Structure 1
Amino acid sequence: MANTPEITGPISQEDIEAAEKFKNEANEYFKKQNYNSAIEYYSKAIEKNPNNAVFYANRSIANLRLENFGYALIDASKAIELDKCYTKAYYRRAAAHMSLGKYKLALKDFEYVTKVRPNDQDAKKKYNECNKIALKIAFEKAISVDKKEVNIADSINLDAMTIEDEYEGPEMEDGKVTLKFVTELMEFYKQQKKLHKKYAYKILIDVKAYLQKQPSLVDIKVPDEAKFTVCGDIHGQYYDLMNIFKLNGLPSETNPFLFNGDFVDRGSFSVECIFTLFSFKLLFPNHFFMSRGNHETLDMNRMYGFRGEVTSKYTSQMADLFTEVYNWLPLAHCINGRVLVMHGGLFSKDDVTLDDIRRVDRNKQPPEDGIMCELLWSDPQPMAGRAPSRRGVGCQFGPDVTAAFCDRNGLDYIIRSHEVKNDGYEVAHDGKCITVFSAPNYCDTMGNLGAFITMNGKDLTPKFTTYEAVPHPDVKPMAYANSFFSLLCQ
C-alpha cells in the first residue's frame, strides 16, 4: 500500500479528474475480484487527490478482501479523518476491527454513527447486531474462565452414542481409523454425506490425545531417497484436497505429507477437510504432519465460517472441542534439521532460535505478539529489514532477516504458506523463503493456481506441482461465515 501523500498545496482540476479516472479503473478491477490491481489503482487515485475519503474507503474494502486487516484499518481511519460523517468508512473500520477480534472497538464505530445519524435505521441495526456479538463473546469468555478446568474431550460419553441401523457410512474397526475407513470416508464426503457423530467425536478425542504428546516444533527425518510433500492452505476446499491426493497419491508410510495450516474457514467443506486430514494423522502418525495456522483459532473460526459449519453439521459442543484440539497443533516442523516449515513467518527479534520455538507453550489462543503469534501471522517483504504487518498482526520481514535466521539456525531455507499466490507458490529472499498455497481459485474468486512442494531427503531441493481448481457442489464459500461480517464487507 502506498503511503498517504502529504498535501503540499491546492489540487488542480486536472489531478482531480485523473484521480477519478484511476478510481473508476480500480472499481472495474474490484468488480472482477482482482483486488491487488484495484488497490494499485486506488493508490494512484490517492496520489493524485489525497483529499477524497472515498478512495481510502474503497482501498480499505479491497484490503479487507485480501485479509490485509491492518492496512484496511489505516485506510478506513484516514477516510474518517477526511469525512467524519462518512458512514461506509466506519463500517469498513468496524469490519477490520472485527477481523482482528477487536469487537469493542467495532462497536464504538457503530455507536458513533448512530449518534451522528440518529435516524439511520441501517446504522442502528448494525449497532444492535454488533452489540449482540460483543455480548455473546464476552459471555463465552466469562464461561471459559469459570470452566477453564473443564476438559471437553474428557466429558464426551462415546458409549452413550448409538450407531443407528440406517447409518450407511464408514465405520471404525475396534475404535480405530483404518485405511478402509479413510478411503470410504473420502468417497462418502464426495457424495455430501455426514460422518456419524460418534466417529467424529472419537477422531477428535484421539487426535487431541496424540497431539498433546508432541512438541511445539516437530523434527521430521526424511531418508535420502524418500519423497516428502508439503502443502499449504486448504481453507475448506475439500474437492481440491481430493485432487491433491489424485495428483500426488494418498498419504502413506512411503508417501508422507505435511499440511501447513489453515485447513478450515472460508471454504464451506471445512468439516470434510479436517476430518479427512485428522483421519490420516491417526492412521500414519509418523508420516502425516499438520501445523497450526492462523485460522485454527477461535476468533477466525467465529468470523470465517468453521464454527458455524461445525455447529450446523454437528453441535456447538463439537465446535468447542475443535478449539481445544487446535490448541495442541504443533507450531512448526523442521525437516532433516535443514528446512523449517511454519504457517506464517519469521520474527520481530533477531535472536530467535529453533530451541525458542520448541519451548513455546502453545496450548492457548495465540497472543497478539511474540514467537507464537509471528509463526502464525507474519509475511515476507521484498525490502530489507522489518515493517509493521499489513494484516495488523505479526510482522513483515525482509531477505536479510531470513538469511540471518537461516544462518543462525543452520537452515537451508524456510517454507511458509498464509498468502494467496497466482502460481500457487513463490520463491523469494534469494531462494531462502518459499510460499506454498494449495487452495486454487481461492474462495471461488481469486483465479489462482494451487501448488504443493515435493522433495527428497538427500538434497531437499523443492519441486513444485501446480494445478487448477476442480468443480465442487453448489455451496458458496463463506456459506457458514458470520452473516453480520459479510454485511459489513459489502
Structure 2
Amino acid sequence: GISREIMASGESVSEEAVREAEETKERANTYFKAGDYENAVQYYTRAIDLNPNVASYYGNRSIANLRIECYGYALNDATRAIELDGMYLKGYYRRAASNMALGKLKLSLKDFETVVKARPRDKDAREKYLQCQKIVKQQAFERAIAVETGPQKSVSETINVDSIEVEGSYDGPRLEENITAEFMTDLLAFFKDQKRLHRKYAYKILLAVEECFRSMSTLEEIEVPDGSKFNVCGDIHGQFYDLLNIFELNGRPSPENPYLFNGDFVDRGSFSVEVILTLFGYKMLYPEHFFMSRGNHESVNMNEMYGFFGEVKSKYNAQMANLFTEIYNWLPLCHLINRRVLVMHGGLFSRDDVTIDDIRQVDRHREPPDEGIMCELLWSDPQPQPGRSSSKRGVGVQFGPDVTENFCRRNNLDYVIRSHEVKQDGYEVAHNGKCITVFSAPNYCDQMGNKGAFITMTSDLKPQFTTYDAVPHPDVKPMAYAGSLMSLLGLL
C-alpha cells in the first residue's frame, strides 16, 4: 500500500509564505482554466518557490507541463509530488500520463496499478488501468509474433495496386502514369472540398515515394544557385488549410519555387492524411526541388497516440497506416544547404564532437531510438543559457549558445535551422543568430494563438521570414482521431 508521509526534509515555511503561496496557486489555476498553460507553469513555480512542501503544487504544474508537451518536466513534478505525499493519487495519474506520452507504457501501468490498489472502488482508475494493460499486452503479443514469424515481407510488397478497382461513382482526380502539375491542382481542390482520394491512387503515390526516399541519403545536400530562391517550412501537424494558405501566400512548389518541409507533417491536426499525400505528391512531381525531413512525429509511438494512425484507419485502412510507417523510416534526417546551413527537425547533440560526416553515417532506417545522434536530431531543443541540460520533453537534450557556436565552427556552418517548437511569432532567432526555429502551424491545435512562419532565402542564405495567421478550417477538431488513451488521460 501507500503510506502517507511528508518528506522528512520538508522545509520550514512562514505562515505568510504559506498564505502567499496559496494565493499564487489560485492565480495559476485561473490561467490553467483559461488554457494559458505557460503562465500557469510560471505561477505554480512561484507557489513552489514560496512553499516547496505541497504535493498538489507539483501535481498541478505537472499537468500544465503535460499540456505544453514538456513531458520530462511533467514526469519530474509528478515524481516529486509522490515523494512529498504518497497518498496524493493525482501524482500517480500525472506520472502515468507523462510516461505514456513518452511511450513508456509499462511504467504507466505500474502507477495505475498503485491507484487501483489504493482505491479499489474507483471506476475511472480501473478503466484507465485496464485500458493501459490491454495496450501493453497487445504490444507484447505483436513483438512475440514478429519474433516467431521471422523476417516479414515489407508492406509495399503485399500491395497489388493493379487489382484495386475504382468504383464508377468516384469523381476525383485519377493518377494514370506519373504525377503531373494538373493532377496536383485537382488534388488540392478535391481535398479542400473534404473529399477523399481513391485508395488506388493514394497507394500509387505512397509506393512511388517510398522508392524515391529509399534512394536518398540520411543527410541530403541542396544547392541554391545564384539568383534563385529557396523556402523552408516547419511543422504543419495536419493543418491542411494552413498549408494551402502557405501556397497562396508564397506560390506552389515548382522548380523555380523549391521547398523543404522540416518534419512533423502529421498528428494533432485532423487533416494529416491530406497534408501528407499533398507533400508526397509534390515530392514525386519535383523530386529535385521538393524536400522533406523526418520529424519526431513521423514514428509509430507518436502516430498511435496523436491521431495519425486513427485518421488513416478511418479514411483508408490499417494496411495503409503500416505503409506510412515503412515510408517514414526512409525519410532523410536533415539537409545541408550550400554546405553552409544545416536543417534538422529537433536540434543538436549531447556530445561536442559530432560532425556532418557522423550524421551521414547514421542508419536511419528504423524507429527513432531513445538516445544518440538520430534521437537528438529529431527531439532536442535550444536553451538560452550556456551548456546542456536534460530535456524538458524527456527525450533528447537542451543545448546552449556555446554548443551551437562550437558545432557550427567545427562543421564550417553559418547557422542551423530547426522546427519542433511552437513560437508566438512563428519563428525565433536565437544563439546570436546561429540557431533559427521555424514553425508553420498557426494557432496550433486551435488553441495556441501563435502565428505561423516560413523562411525564404536566396543564394546569400540570409533568412527572410514571412508570418501569417491561421485560416478557417472545416469543423473537425484537432486530435479528433487520437488514441483512446489520450482522452482517458485528460490530455485531449
Same fold (TM over 0.5): yes
1:250 aligned to 249, 252, 258, which one? Answer: 252
Q: How do residues 225-374 of structure 1 correspond to structure 2 at under 5 angstroms?
A: 225-374=227-376
Is 1:448 matched up with 2:480?
no
Question: C-alpha deviations, 1:322-374, integer Å up to 9, x for none?
Answer: 00000000000000000000000000001111111111100000111000000
Residue 184 of structure 1 is matched in structure 2 by 186
- Partners of 2:38 and 2:206 lie apart in 1 by 38
Decide which moves more: 364-373 or 78-87.
Answer: 78-87
C-alpha separation between the residues in 1 aligned to 2:101 and 2:91? Answer: 15
Quote the residue 2:154 is aligned against.
Answer: 151
Of 26, 32, 39, the residue aligned with 2:41 is 39
**8 Å contact from structure 1 (residues 220, 335) kept in 2:** yes
Q: After the TM superposition, which of the residue ranges 116-125 and 241-250 deviates more from structure 2?
A: 116-125
Cα shift readout 1:433-462 (whole Å, capped 9, x = no counterpart)? 0000000000001000000000001x1000
- Deviation at residue 154 of structure 1 after TM alignment: 1.2
8 Å CA contact 1:260–1:416 kept in 2: the answer is yes
2:482 aligns to what?
481
- Pairwise CA RMSD of aligned residues? 1.3
Could you give the per-residue CA deviations for residues 32-91 of structure 1, whole angstroms, max 9, x where no partner exists? 222111110000010111111111111111111111111010001111112222222211
TM-score norm. by structure 2 comes to 0.96
Cα distance between partner residues in 1 of 2:113 and 2:230: 53
Q: Number of residues paired by the alignment?
A: 484
1:202 & 1:335 partners in 2: Cα distance? Answer: 30
Which secondary structure does the structure 2 equivalent of 1:235 belong to? coil
Distance, in Å, in 2 between the alignment partners of 1:83 and 1:278 is 51
Cα deviation for residue 201 of structure 1 reads 0.8
Q: Quote the Cα distance in structure 1 between the aligned partners of 2:285 and 2:180.
A: 6
Contact 1:237–1:268 (8 Å) recurs in 2: yes
- Matched residue SS, 1:230: strand
Offset from partner CA, 1:116-148 (integer Å, 9 cap, x none): 222222211110011111112222333344354
Q: Deviations over 1:198-233 (max 9, x none)?
A: 011111111110100100000000111111000000
* 1:170 aligned onto 2:173: yes
Q: How does 1:79-94 map to 2 (within 5 A)?
A: 79-94=81-96
Instruction: For residue 254 of structure 2, give the secondary structure of its aligned residue in structure 1.
Output: coil
Question: What is the alpha-carbon distance in structure 1 between the residues aligned to residue 146 and residue 240 of structure 2?
Answer: 31
Structure 1 position 7, deviation (Å) = 6.1
CA distance in 1, matches of 2:119, 2:34: 33
Confirm or deny: 8 A CA contact 1:61 1:489 kept in the other structure.
no
Counting aligned pairs with the same residue, the percent is 64
Distance 1:236 1:58 in 2: 29
Q: CA deviation at 1:179?
A: 0.9
Q: Mind listing any 5+ residue stretches in structure 1 that lack a counterpart?
A: none
- Greater Cα offset, 294-303 or 13-22: 13-22
Q: In 1, are the aligned partners of 2:11 and 2:53 still within 8 Å (CA)?
A: no
2:321 & 2:486 partners in 1: Cα distance? Answer: 19
Assess if the C-alpha contact under 8 Å between 1:426 and 1:435 holds in 2: yes
Unaligned runs of 5+ in 2: 1-6
Instruction: List per-residue Cα deviations over 1:379-401 (Å, max 9, x = no partner).
Output: 00011111111111000100010
Residues 185 and 50 of structure 1, relative CA distance in 2, 3 Å threshold: same
SS at the partner of 2:466? Answer: strand
Matched letter for residue 91 of structure 1 = Y
SS at match of 2:78: helix
- Whether the aligned pair in 1 keeps the contact of 2:10 and 2:53 (CA below 8 Å) is no
CA apart distance, 1:20:
1.3
Distance (whole Å) between structure 1 residues aligned to residue 486 and residue 18 of structure 2: 33
Partner residue, 1:461: 462
Whether 1:28 aligns to 2:30 is yes
Change (3 A) 1:252 1:125: same
Q: Is the 8 A contact 1:387 1:397 kept in 2?
A: yes
Worse-superposed segment, 360-369 or 476-485? 476-485
Q: 1:6 to 1:45 in 2, by over 3 A?
A: farther
